[in-house]
């Protein structure tokens, strides 16, 4: 039985070792470092109150704890307990604690799905059948060359770091499923390949929520929304983001033509 090494002179040596174990693995290492020490630093840095006020913004006080929680370095209970220790009134951290609840929710849903996490739980509510959606991610998405500046920025971040702001994940998923008519499964698989916190339950069920196969309606977004939450952080100029530059009403007509006339 072969025991693998656990001591390395530096990070580059560890990375080189993992490359020899998995020569098939795509890409480079993330700047985010695994392990208890890095996790503890992130935990010490949380601000549950600030999180509640800024979480939807690209530069908000998100905790970046998700990769460590996903791999069990900390449990949800541990993170919750620590957050409570930082709060005079537990309700002041309601959004932070509720976000932990979302992970618990996805795990509980997953535990009850007899047919697994890769099947559509409900029909699409887009006016399209599943067969309308392609199972293959287009090359321009894989290469961050869609020509939609903010989308390409978020894809590059995903590929380079393995971490993307949750709001940006929603944009990416919506763009892939609704603007490009790709199955959520193809997108979910791609996210799991790259996201350090890629969790089958949270990831797949979130993609289904966006797609409308586990929600009451499809999630879409427009350039105005991206500019509101990520303005100054990514290129949100109309000329570089043309497919997104429309009102919700016009986007709905364009993306879901079979639903026109069903609203109100």
Under rule CB under 8 A, which residues in 75-94 are in contact with another protein?
75-78, 80-81, 84, 90-91, 94
20 lies in the binding site for another protein (CB under 8 A): no
Give the rounded distance of the alpha carbon of 48 from its chain centre: 20
Q: Of the candidates 53, 108, 181, 217, which one interacts with another protein according to CB under 8 A?
A: 108
- Interaction of residue 200 with another protein, rule CB under 8 A: yes
What part of residues 205-224 is at the interface with another protein (CB under 8 A)? 214
Instruction: Count residues near another protein (CB under 8 A).
Output: 74
Nearer to another protein, 29 or 259 (CB): 29
Residue pair 79/104 in contact (Cβ under 8 Å)? The answer is: no
Asked if 53 interacts with another protein (CB under 8 A), we say no
Binding-site member from 6, 9, 10, 20 for another protein (CB under 8 A):
6
Read off the tokens for 158: 């995903």
Strand partners, 51: none
Query: According to the binding rule CB under 8 A, does residue 9 interact with another protein?
Result: no
Q: Is 137 in the site for another protein (CB under 8 A)?
A: no
What SS3 class is residue 182?
Answer: strand
Residues 208, 259 contacting (CB under 8 angstroms): no
In angstroms and rounded to an integer, the radius of gyration of the C-alpha atoms of the chain is 20
- Residue 211 CA to residue 226 CA, distance in Å, equals 19
The 8-class DSSP code of residue 171 comes to: H
Binding string to another protein for residues 178 to 197, with x set by CB under 8 A, is what? -----------x--xxxxx-
- Is 97 among the residues that bind another protein (CB under 8 A)? yes
- Verify binding: residue 57, another protein, rule CB under 8 A: no
Distance between CA 122 and CA 43 in Å, rounded? 37
Which positions ≥6 away from 252 have C-beta within 8 Å?
220, 259, 260, 263
By the rule CB under 8 A, 21 interacts with another protein: yes
Closest CB to another protein among 84 and 260?
84
**Smallest gap, in angstroms, from Cβ of residue 176 to another protein?**
17
- Could you give the CA distance from residue 153 to residue 226 in angstroms, rounded to a whole number? 12
- Least gap, CB of 260 to another protein (angstroms): 26
């Amino acid at each position: 039985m072969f025991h693998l090494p656990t001591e390395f002179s530096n990070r580059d040596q560890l990375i080189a070792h993992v490359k020899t174990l998995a020569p098939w693995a795509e890409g480079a290492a993330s700047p985010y470092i695994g392990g208890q020490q890095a996790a503890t630093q992130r935990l010490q840095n949380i601000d549950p109150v600030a999180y509640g006020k800024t979480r939807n913004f690209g530069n908000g006080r998100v905790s970046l704890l998700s990769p460590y929680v996903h791999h069990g370095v900390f449990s949800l209970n541990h993170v919750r307990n620590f957050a409570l220790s930082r709060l005079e009134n537990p309700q002041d951290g309601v959004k932070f604690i509720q976000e932990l609840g979302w992970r618990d929710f996805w795990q509980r849903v997953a535990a009850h799905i007899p047919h697994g996490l890769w099947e559509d739980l409900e029909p699409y509510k887009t006016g399209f059948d599943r067969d309308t959606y392609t199972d293959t991610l287009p090359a321009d998405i894989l290469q961050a060359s869609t020509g939609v500046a903010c989308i390409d920025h978020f894809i590059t971040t995903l590929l380079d770091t393995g971490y993307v702001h949750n709001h940006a994940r929603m944009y990416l998923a919506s763009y892939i499923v609704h603007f490009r008519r790709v199955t959520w499964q193809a997108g979910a698989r791609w996210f799991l390949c790259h996201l350090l916190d890629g969790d089958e339950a949270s990831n797949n069920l979130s993609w289904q929520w966006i797609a409308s196969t586990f929600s009451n309606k499809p999630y879409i977004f427009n350039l105005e929304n991206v500019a509101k939450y990520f303005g100054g952080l990514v290129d949100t100029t109309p000329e570089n983001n043309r497919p997104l530059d429309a009102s919700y009403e016009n986007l709905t007509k364009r993306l879901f033509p079979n639903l026109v006339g069903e609203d109100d």
